[in-house]
Structure 1
Amino acid sequence: MPVYTVHAPFPGGADLRATDKFVFVRDGFHVWAMILGPFWLAWNRLWLALIGWIVFLAAFDAGLSSLGVGRPSIFLANIIVALLTGFEASSLRRWTLSRGKWRQLDVVVAADQDTAEWRFFERWSKSQQGIVNDQWAVDRGGPPPTRNVPGQPFSNPPPLPAGGIIGLFPEPGGSSR
């Protein structure tokens, strides 16, 4: 079963107002990071990792070719670098988040990301009871209007009908025909 780490932005971080900014990072092998390494890094906005990947691969290939290594061996070495990129993609993402002043809140084991979010928020919301669970106080204006208070804009109820009967039932104590 996959393991997810949960990250929250540090300044103003882990309260109910920032839950939409939480990031769940799946640990494990990322196939798309292996197949399309630089595009996956750019898609996930891992800019320093992308620059490092380009510089490393260029220097690695130049070093191997200057040593007289043949093209098939360089290709095999690039496949190994692609495999390493797939294995370390989650670590690169967590490293980028930690550099951006994010902090890791929890580790969740779940079958998919939706289940991981559900498990995390169920456990996390129990620990948040009474701390920040006031759901942003809403200003509803002044007090509710009341009757028979001068200056309060409140309409009087409509007058009773002529027979004193409201609806289908007569008033208590009245005659029932």
Structure 2
Amino acid sequence: MPVYTVHAPSPGGDDLRATDQFVFVRDGFHFWAMIFGPLWLLWNRLWLALIGWLIFVAAFNAGLSSLGVGRSSLFLANIVVALLMGLEASSLRRWTLSRGKWRQLDVVIADKEDAAEHRFFERWSQKQNGIVNDQWAIDRGGPPPTRNTPGQPFSNPPPLPAGGIIGLFPEPGGSR
């Protein structure tokens, strides 16, 4: 099943009530990005990625030509670059969104984008309860939470049973 990441505009712009601006980015291989790399970048408005791709391909081809690589090898090398473009297209799109101060809200697994939207908004609307701040956004840059942080639901482990033993035998040396 495909994995989608959900992105929302920055808090300085519209608030989270503008759900029509949420973007769902499918992770995985993009066939059209491999076949029509620069056109796919233009279509998705990835301007810096397009400029970087053009500079890279020009320098790559010039470097291989200056090394005296034959045309068939140059063609195969360009196929590898196109394959890498298809593999990294969704990462380029997420990178562009993060540069534009968009934040990642969630990760959703679904067959199609419509199902991912439905699953995300069903789960997201239950969490929001009328709140329009950014308390459920995922912060990928911070350290993982620890058990010693007060106020987090997993800070305190669940209490042990009365006998203190967990398992099939409730007391030491008891009958089976």
Structure 1 length normalisation: TM-score? 0.72
Residue 105 (structure 1) aligns with: 105
Residue 124 (structure 1) aligns with: 124
Structure 2 matches for 1:59-98, cutoff 5 A?
59-98=59-98
Establish whether residue 15 from structure 1 lines up as the match of residue 28 from structure 2.
no
**Does the aligned pair in 1 maintain the 2:5–2:26 contact within 8 Å?**
yes
Q: Matched residues in 1 for 2:130 and 2:71: separation?
A: 64
Write out per-residue CA displacement over residues 120-173 of structure 1, whole angstroms, 9 at most, x where no aligned residue. 0000001110324xxxxxxxxxxxxxxxxxxxxxxxxxxxxxxxxxxxxxxxxx
Q: Give the 3-state SS of the residue equivalent to 1:29 in structure 2.
A: coil
Q: Matched residues in 2 for 1:43 and 1:58: separation?
A: 21
Residue 41 (structure 2) aligns with: 41
Q: Matched residues in 2 for 1:90 and 1:72: separation?
A: 29
Residue 54 (structure 2) aligns with: 54
Regions of 4+ moved over 3 Å: none
Write out per-residue CA displacement over residues 9-59 of structure 1, whole angstroms, 9 at most, x where no aligned residue. 01245522x100000000000000000000000000000000000000000
Q: Cα offset for 1:102?
A: 0.1
Q: Give the 3-state SS of the residue equivalent to 2:68 in structure 1.
A: coil
Q: Give the 3-state SS of the residue equivalent to 2:130 in structure 1.
A: coil
Cα RMSD after superposing both structures: 1.0
Structure 1 residues 42 and 81, CA, compared in 2 at 3 Å: closer, same or farther?
same
Gaps of 5+ in 1: 133-177
Greater gyration radius: 1
Residue 159 (structure 1) aligns with: none
Structure 2 length normalisation: TM-score? 0.73
Q: Matched residues in 1 for 2:100 and 2:13: separation?
A: 14
Q: Give the 3-state SS of the residue equivalent to 1:25 in structure 2.
A: strand
Q: Matched residues in 1 for 2:16 and 2:9: separation?
A: 10
Gaps of 5+ in 2: 133-176
Q: Matched residues in 2 for 1:130 and 1:35: separation?
A: 44
